[in-house]
Each structure stands twice: as structure tokens, then as C-alpha cells.
């Protein structure tokens, strides 16, 4: 266990310097995987993606001081027309001017895709189409950081209004990929803070593979990806704080990352609870002087408090820090408690592990329930004894987010019998902590058989590959096959035909991922054969399995 009470504090350069070549290889493979996920769902086919796209385009060129009221924006007719042209809705075969539903369900054929040089851009849509529609765009209830950043990227493209809209959306999705790509580096850094063994570091770096929903949401147009990475980074910093790092540099990083997270999405409002708990743990567990801890906590709070201009304005003008723009209608009938519990569990677990598009397809109830039970068991194994104090802190924001949204869900169920405000991604503010607990629980189990300890990354790798392969088979069949073209090869052909990118580029990315995955597997095997018990870095203390019972990563 490394003593952090005398450290100079966290530095990004130090994190990158401590990242080993195999972790960089994992990160490269993860990035290519995200790139492929970014082309899997059709354009607009992700949670609130049409609204996110509309908000970004609407924000390009707007003054930084201007931000629309939460219920003051309407979807532009340009985006609604683009939805029609890109097959987002199903047209009536008898009358092409009519649509059969609000959102197209099922597949698309390659023959339906029109040539890339004929696909509409913002500039080619008529002036009338670019006027606001009557449909509400609720995304302005969110803080502006993601939208301002994405709008700056889009606005920096020369002649962006004449670029095909599908290409613009592809760029927005790749921006999410860039943001989420460093997650294995952050997870490996978190593992080094808490343990230091190479085997745990490798498992932690691979752990994002265990949640395909993370790859899906982290590669579409959404503010979720930025929140995921910022909160994971914050968890890494808070683990250092809990271990006794109350340096000025770390406190500054905590404040800055918390500031960015709170200006990204309202769920970050639960993170200050974990920050306070971490500094309190530094006093109680790591023996830090209370006044010093309070000084650093105030420093972090002062920096993060700069975000209060946005929440404070909401409170003063609209009566809430996160104004809601849609209220469920009243109804005469009410749902039962048991019915609500069952639906809430299924919805929560499915949308945590993998329900793709607008939660239209993905894993079934049996699979997600099994995965959830396994995860809970591993977490309980990881938090036993004194380690539970720190590790529970890492889950606290996600637990608070779920409790809050579950309360909103019950209100909706009690009035209209419909599940609302329940989604597994709401727990992702604590996803880094959960993933770490899962691999720590796995390591505790395997450590009972020392010869297997060096191979603990293997079930993580195998499970991740299986989960993603299953996800892709399911999603390709759902999104890209039709009754007239039902095979997976037909689905692959349709996927390539509809993409904004040249088909060869997508195919090269897939081949590169396969080759990189093989090389990664080879290196992991070599490392495990060479040494399964030494720390990831020669300077770190070694931990023998039999000492694990008394090891306190706090």
C-alpha cells in the first residue's frame, strides 16, 4: 500500500507516464471498438439523438452568453425533414407523404440508401424547413458544456452547412469516441491507486468491455459520454484523496473535473457528496489533519462552485436547479407496487447492460438479470471488511441518482401506469467504481487459487468479447436486415450502404480491431506467463494473495 500523505499530488503527466504499453494497446483496441459502435445504429437512432443533434447545430455561432430557457426551444423543421430522408420513420407504402409511426422500428435495406452525394445538408434544406417546429426540444434543460464544445468542433469545419448531415452526425459521434477513448487508462490508474498488482490493473483496463451499453452510449451523439469519463476521472482522484493525498494539486484537479461534470449534466450534482466523503475518509482512515483536509475541500468547492451560475439561475428563474420540461398526464387508473417493481428492475437492468437504439433491441431479461446478480455478488465480495468504506464511497453518487429517479418513476407509474425516468445509464456516474468493484471481487475469488491469480483478466476479456459479439449480432439483425434480406451478410451490406463513411474505411477499421485484439491477447498471455503476482511497476510493493485479507486500499 502506497502512502499518499506526502505526495506532490496528481498530475496528468504522471498518469500517462505510469500507463504501460499493454494498457495503451487496450486503449487503442477500445477506441477502434467505439469507432465501430459509432456506425452501428442508424442516424438519429439513439436516446434523444435527434434532440442532441438539433441543439448542437442550433448552438453553432451562438454567443456564449446566450442559452435558451429549458422549455423555450423547438426542434427545427430541418432536423425533422432529415429524419424523414434518412429513414428514421416508416413511410406508408400507399402514400409516401404519410408516415406510419413516430420512429422506425426494424431494419433497413441497402437498396433504400440513396447516393452519398445526394444526401441533404443543412444548407440544402429550404428556409422554411429550417424554421422551428411545434415539437419541443428538451435538451436545453441540460448544462451547456457538451453542446458548446460540440458546436465549436462543428463550426470549425470549413463550409460545415454544406457538408452532408449524415457526415456531421458521424463527426459528432466520433467526438464522443474521442472523449470516451481514455477510459481504460483512467481505470488502470484507479486500480494502481487501490492495489498496484499488474493483474488487477489489466482487469480494470479491460472492464469497460463488460458493459456494451457504455460503448453504445459513448459512441453516439449525446452528453452522456463526456459525463461518464469526467466522473470516472473524478473517482480516480477521490480514491487518491481517501488514501491521504490532500495536496493542493489534487484538490485543484478535483474542483476542475467536478466543475466540468456539473456543467455537462445534472446527475453530476450527486458527485459533491462523494467528494465530501472522500476528504472525510482521508481524516478518519488515512490520519490526515482535519484542518488541512478542510482547506483542500474548500479549494475544490470554490472551483466547482463556478458552475452554480447555471444552477442558481435555474433556481431563481424556474424554481428548480434542473427544471423538468415534461410532466406525465393524469389518469384514473394506478399501477400496482409489484408491477412497478418488476418493470423497474427489468428496465433498469436491461438499459444498464445493453438495450440499443431507443432501448429497442439488445439483451433479454434472463441475460441482464443474470449479469446483474453476478455483478452484485462480486461487489459484495469486494466491499467486505474495512475495504467497504472507501469502495462504497465510489458507488454513492450512482446510488443517489438511482434512488432519485426511481422516486420519479413511482410517481409516473402511480399516475399513468407507465415507467418513466428509469434508465441504467443514470447509474453511470458511478460506473468506474462499479467496474472496479466487480474486478476486485473477481480477484478475491481467484486469489484463493494462487496459480490462477495471474490469469484473472481472462474471464473479463472473454466475457467482454462475448457480450460485444452478441450485441453486434442482435443489433445488426434488428437495424439492418429486412424480411426480404434477412441474412447477416445482407445486414452488413445495408450498414455499409447507409454509412456516411466510405465502406472500405469501415471494413479496414474492423480488420484493424481484429488484428489488434489478437496482438493484445498474445501480449496478455506473455505477461501472465512471465509474472502474475508482481506489481505493474517495479517500485510498487508486491502483494501476495495470502496477505489480501489484511490489505486495506484506503
Q: Is the pLDDT of residue 100 over 90?
A: no
Residues 102 and 146 in one domain: yes
Residues 6+ apart with CB under 8 A from 253: 9, 10, 237
Domain stops at, among 176, 194, 215? 176
| E strand or H helix that includes residue 92 | strand 91-92
Task: Residue 203: name the closest of 442, 445, 545 by CA.
Answer: 442
Picking from 139, 156, 176, the residue at the C-terminal end of a domain is 176
Domain shared by 272 and 362, yes or no: yes
Are 499 and 526 within one domain?
yes
**Which residues in 396-465 belong to E strands, given as ranges?**
none
- In a shared domain, residues 21 and 122: no
pLDDT tens digits, residue range 365-423? 999 999 999 999 999 888 875 556 677 777 888 888 777 777 666 665 555 556 666 78
409 within some domain: yes
Domain presence at residue 304: yes
**Does residue 1 lie in a domain region?**
no
User: Chain-wide mean pLDDT for the chain?
Assistant: 84
Q: How many CA atoms lie within 13 A of 89 on its CB side?
A: 17
Assigned C-alpha cell, 209: 468491455
> Are residues 254 and 224 located together in one domain of the fold?
yes
- What is the rounded distance in angstroms from the CA atom of residue 104 to the CA atom of residue 101? 7
Domain span including residue 100: 49-176
Is the domain of 295 the same as that of 439?
yes
Same domain? For 302 and 246 the reply is yes
User: Do 168 and 192 share a structural domain?
Assistant: no
Q: Is residue 2 part of a domain?
A: no
Q: Quick check: is 373 in a domain?
A: yes
Q: Kindly report, residue by residue over 284-316, the tens digit of the pLDDT.
A: 887 889 999 999 999 999 999 998 888 888 888
Mean pLDDT of 454-475: 95
Q: What is the mean pLDDT of residues 515-540?
A: 75
Same domain, 72 and 219: no
Strands (DSSP E) contained in 373-498 are none
The domain total for the chain is 2
- Kindly state whether residue 259 falls inside one of the protein's structural domains: yes
Give the domain-ending residue among 126, 144, 176.
176
Side-chain-side CA neighbours of residue 339 (13 Å): 10
Looking at residue 465, what DSSP letter applies? H
Q: What is the pLDDT of residues 175-209, one digit of tens each?
A: 999 999 999 999 999 999 988 788 899 999 999 99
The answer to the question of residue 4 being in a domain is: no
Same domain, 93 and 216: no
Is 154 in the same domain as 74? Answer: yes
Residue 3 within a domain: no
* Domain co-membership, 423 together with 503: yes
Amino acid at each position: 500500500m502506497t502512502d499518499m500523505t506526502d505526495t506532490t499530488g496528481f498530475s496528468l503527466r504522471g498518469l500517462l507516464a505510469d500507463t504501460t504499453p499493454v494498457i495503451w494497446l487496450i486503449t487503442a483496441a477500445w477506441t477502434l471498438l467505439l469507432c465501430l459502435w459509432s456506425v452501428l445504429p442508424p442516424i438519429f437512432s439513439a436516446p434523444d439523438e435527434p434532440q442532441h443533434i438539433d441543439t448542437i447545430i442550433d448552438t453553432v455561432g451562438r454567443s456564449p452568453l446566450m442559452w435558451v430557457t429549458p422549455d423555450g426551444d423547438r426542434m427545427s423543421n430541418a432536423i425533422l425533414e432529415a429524419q424523414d430522408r434518412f429513414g428514421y420513420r416508416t413511410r406508408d407504402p400507399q402514400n409516401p407523404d404519410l408516415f406510419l409511426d413516430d420512429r422506425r422500428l426494424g431494419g433497413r435495406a441497402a437498396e433504400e440508401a440513396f447516393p452519398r452525394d445526394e444526401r441533404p445538408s443543412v444548407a440544402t434544406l429550404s428556409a422554411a424547413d429550417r424554421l422551428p417546429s411545434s415539437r419541443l426540444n428538451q435538451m436545453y434543460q441540460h448544462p451547456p458544456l457538451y453542446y458548446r464544445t460540440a458546436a465549436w468542433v462543428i463550426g470549425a469545419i470549413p463550409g460545415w452547412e454544406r457538408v452532408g448531415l449524415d457526415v456531421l452526425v458521424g463527426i459528432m459521434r466520433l467526438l464522443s469516441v474521442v472523449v470516451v477513448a481514455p477510459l481504460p487508462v483512467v481505470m488502470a490508474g484507479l486500480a494502481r491507486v487501490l492495489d498496484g498488482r499488474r493483474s488487477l490493473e489489466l482487469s480494470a483496463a479491460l472492464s469497460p468491455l463488460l458493459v456494451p451499453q457504455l460503448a453504445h452510449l459513448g459512441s453516439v451523439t449525446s452528453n452522456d459520454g463526456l459525463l461518464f469519463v469526467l466522473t470516472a476521472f473524478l473517482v480516480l482522484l477521490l480514491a487518491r484523496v481517501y488514501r491521504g493525498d490532500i495536496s493542493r494539486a489534487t484538490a485543484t484537479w478535483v474542483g476542475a473535473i467536478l466543475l466540468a461534470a456539473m456543467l455537462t449534466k445534472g446527475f453530476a450534482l450527486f458527485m459533491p457528496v462523494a467528494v465530501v466523503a472522500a476528504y472525510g475518509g482521508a481524516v478518519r482512515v488515512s490520519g490526515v489533519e482535519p484542518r488541512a483536509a478542510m482547506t483542500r475541500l474548500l479549494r475544490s468547492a470554490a472551483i466547482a462552485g463556478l458552475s452554480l451560475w447555471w444552477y442558481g439561475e435555474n433556481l431563481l428563474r424556474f424554481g428548480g436547479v434542473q427544471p423538468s420540461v415534461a410532466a406525465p398526464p393524469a389518469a384514473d387508473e394506478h399501477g400496482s407496487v409489484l408491477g412497478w417493481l418488476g418493470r423497474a428492475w427489468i428496465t433498469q437492468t436491461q438499459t444498464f447492460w445493453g438495450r440499443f437504439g431507443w432501448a429497442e433491441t439488445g439483451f433479454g431479461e434472463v441475460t441482464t438479470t443474470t449479469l446483474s446478480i453476478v455483478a452484485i455478488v462480486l461487489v459484495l465480495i469486494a466491499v467486505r471488511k474495512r475495504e467497504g468504506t472507501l469502495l462504497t464511497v465510489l458507488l454513492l453518487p450512482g446510488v443517489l441518482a438511482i434512488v432519485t429517479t426511481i422516486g420519479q418513476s413511482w410517481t409516473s407509474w402511480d399516475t399513468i401506469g407507465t415507467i418513466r425516468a428509469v434508465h441504467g445509464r443514470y447509474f453511470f456516474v458511478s460506473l468506474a467504481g462499479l467496474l472496479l468493484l466487480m474486478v476486485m471481487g473477481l480477484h478475491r475469488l481467484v486469489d484463493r487459487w494462487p496459480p490462477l491469480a495471474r490469469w484473472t483478466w481472462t474471464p473479463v476479456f472473454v466475457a467482454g468479447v462475448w457480450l460485444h459479439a452478441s450485441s453486434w449480432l442482435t443489433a445488426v439483425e434488428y437495424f439492418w436486415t429486412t424480411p426480404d434480406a434477412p441474412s447477416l451478410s445482407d445486414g452488413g451490406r445495408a450498414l455499409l450502404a447507409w454509412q456516411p463513411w466510405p465502406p472500405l474505411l469501415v471494413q479496414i477499421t474492423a480488420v484493424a480491431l481484429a488484428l489488434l485484439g489478437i496482438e493484445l491477447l498474445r501480449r496478455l498471455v506473455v505477461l501472465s506467463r512471465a509474472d502474475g503476482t508482481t506489481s505493474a511497476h517495479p517500485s510498487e510493493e508486491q502483494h501476495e494473495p495470502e496477505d489480501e485479507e489484511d490489505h486495506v486500499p484506503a
